[in-house]
Amino acid sequence: MNQNARLTEAAYQGSALDVDKDFYGRIGKDTDNRKIVDEFTVPIRSGQAWDIPAGHVCRISTVEGPQVGDLNLWNRHDPRERFWAARTRQLQAAHVSTFDRLWSTLPFLRPMATIVSDTLADYGTDAEGGRLHDTLGTRCDPYVSQMLSGVDFDYHCHSNLVRAVLPYGLTEFDVHDVLNVFQCTGLNDNDEYFMKTCPATPGDHFEFFAEQDLLAALSTCPGGDLSAPMFGEDNEDPVDNCHPLKVTVYRLAESLLGEWTEPQSPRYRGQHGLKPQVWGS
């Protein structure tokens, strides 16, 4: 290991990053003692928001075919605390799976959710360097579409998420960088972002444990399985490649939670070096 690698590893060590794999492994495997408290299907090219109480598990699953979903998370009681894709990339990985955690923004900086089950965890890295459940890219949006192609389209993931959160008092300014569930992506030799066809099949799922009361929103990407470009002179609308996603929220047995408690924010009180001015000294 070279010196730079050692320094990088040393920067991200400490008990705050430790995950109790036995605890979260039991949550992911013990499906017999769960109770469904909410379940619905998000139709193609649309979005929906929903509550996930702390200590519950949320499952996102494919039901008819491969489909990418763009996920946002907020603290249910304070939407200023929301999923932070960039810090999650640094503290966990650019592509997340079982036992990785989804971290929140400053000044909160704590786990919002921990992934407990992923039927595609064994996908690993494919021949082109593609991996699943991506935090590298962000949601498609109508602004880029208009800028690059001149196409007006109201069902990009950004727009779907905006419409989904309006009933909860949130706006476009609250929608943020996403976790692209089931999306296969990577960086090529020129460090350019690429997307591949989603490998999920009906019945695949991605589950996470809510570490706090959450508001979640999911968009079923208008690109569907991303096997074809959405727009272009010679491209047809890939609507036939689009499929719904099912969302299920489970309450767990109290005995399974044991002594689990909601993660706390770091106790930084340094005020960023800003001190009261003292006059006459």
| Helix, strand, coil abundance in the chain, percent, nearest 5 | 25, 30, 45
pLDDT at 278: 78
Position 239 pLDDT exceeds 90: yes
> Residue 78: its pLDDT value, please?
98
Residue 114 CA to residue 128 CA, distance in Å, equals 28
Average pLDDT over residues 221-229: 94
Mean pLDDT throughout 207-222? 98
Q: What pLDDT is stored for residue 235 in this prediction?
A: 73
Question: Would you say 174 and 74 are in contact if contact means Cβ atoms under 8 Å apart?
Answer: yes
Q: What is the predicted pLDDT for the residue at 35? A: 98
- pLDDT reported for residue 229: 83
Residue 206 Cα distances to 122, 213, 273, angstroms: 13, 19, 42
Which residue type, as a one-letter code, is found at position 199? P
Return the higher-pLDDT residue of 277 and 185: 185
Residue 53 pLDDT greater than 80, yes or no? yes
62 has a pLDDT exceeding 80: yes
Q: Give residue-wise pLDDT tens across range 161-202.
A: 999 999 999 999 999 999 999 999 999 999 999 999 999 999
- Residue 28 pLDDT > 70: yes
Q: How far apart are CA 31 and CA 250, in angstroms?
A: 9
In the prediction, which pLDDT does 279 show? 78
pLDDT band at 5 (very low <50, low <70, confident <90, very high): low
Sheet architecture: strand order including 101-103 = 35-42, 245-251, 56-62, 205-210, 111-118, 101-103
Tens digits of residue pLDDT in 85-116: 999 999 999 999 999 999 999 999 999 999 99
- Whether the per-residue pLDDT at 16 is higher than 90: the answer is no
- The mean pLDDT value of the chain amounts to 93
| Segments in the chain forming alpha helices (H) | 3-11, 21-29, 85-91, 142-149, 157-165, 254-257
- Identify the burial level of 179 via C-beta atoms within 10 angstroms of its C-beta, where 0-12 means exposed, 13-18 middle and 19 or more buried: buried
Residue 29: what pLDDT?
Answer: 97
Per-residue model confidence (pLDDT) at position 149: 85
Q: What is the pLDDT averaged over residues 126-155?
A: 94
d(CA 13, CA 8): 10
Asked whether residue 3 carries a pLDDT value surpassing 70, the answer given is no
Split at pLDDT 50, 70, 90, the class of 155 is very high
User: What pLDDT does residue 275 have?
Assistant: 83
The mean per-residue pLDDT over the stretch 247-251 comes to: 98
User: Can you give the pLDDT at residue 15?
Assistant: 78
At 133-143, the pLDDT tens digits run 999 999 999 99
